[in-house]
Amino acid sequence: MFQLDGKIAAVTGSGSGIGRAVALVFAKQGAEVHLMDLNAEAITNTKEEIEKINGKAVVHACDVTSQQQVHSVFKSIGKVDILVNSAGISHIGNVETTSEEDFDRLYNVNVKGVYNCMQGAIVKMKQQGSGVILNLASIANNVGLADRFAYSMTKGAVLGMTLSVARDYIREGIRCNCISPARVHTPFVDGFLKKNYPGKEDEMFDKLSKSQPIGRMAKPDEIANLILFLCSEEASFITGCDYPIDGGFIKLNN
């Protein structure tokens, strides 16, 4: 089950974190994975990891905020069976402490970047009469998170775009879903704690971990496994859905 033999998959943000985990599990399951990330060195490292398991990967250093770059990458790929929009950034702040510069920066990566990639991929998918798009949303779609004003705005937009694309292209054989993770232990989390809580990293990591009722953060592999299912043929009847993967955060945090 969940084999992707013969599938061509594009994964943004595949240099680290969830995107990297998705790229690895896709390659393990037989897909040819096109790695898209601003950090060329990082996706080269991911490519090398994929090749160690005899997988196939192609590197595309790409800024998802640039429509020209994104469309150029998709033209070079040719056939696209699967698109996973994992590239994203975060920000700490409420409406008063979020600067216009930060607001625009988050919008450009988290919203416009997803739009650019979906637009580039859907052209190919329509020609094929099939395709799967999986977007990374967040628990911030569903609950109010303190000091995540701009981030919540972008992830709400991702959910809205997901539902719109699912509706507009259901007759074209294109499925579109999103998932909403709670906190995931990625290099981003470690960097955030080091920057904002020097000397208290372990204490804050424990506090953030316990904010999930299950008592820990998710592992990138756990998120990637859900994405694998939703992008596989076994999920062929699923479209226009948002799947929480949150350790009980949304429903059990009373």
Q: Is 151 a catalytic residue?
A: yes
Q: Measure the N-to-C terminal CA separation of the chain; round to a whole number of Å.
A: 37
Q: Which of 107, 115, 151, 197 is catalytic?
A: 151
Residue with tokens 């898209």: 36
Residue 145: which region, alpha, beta or left (left: phi > 0; alpha: psi -120 to 50)? beta
HEC sequence for the chain: CCCCCCCEEEEECCCCHHHHHHHHHHHHCCCEEEEEECCHHHHHHHHHHHHHCCCEEEEEECCCCCHHHHHHHHHHHCCCCEEEECCCCCCCECCCCCCHHHHHHHHHHHHHHHHHHHHHHHHHHHHHCCEEEEEECCHHHCCCCCCEHHHHHHHHHHHHHHHHHHHHCHHHCEEEEEEEECCECCHHHHHHHHHHCCCCHHHHHHHHHHCCCCCCCECHHHHHHHHHHHHCHHHCCCCCCEEEECCCHHHHCC
Which residues carry out catalysis? Answer: 151
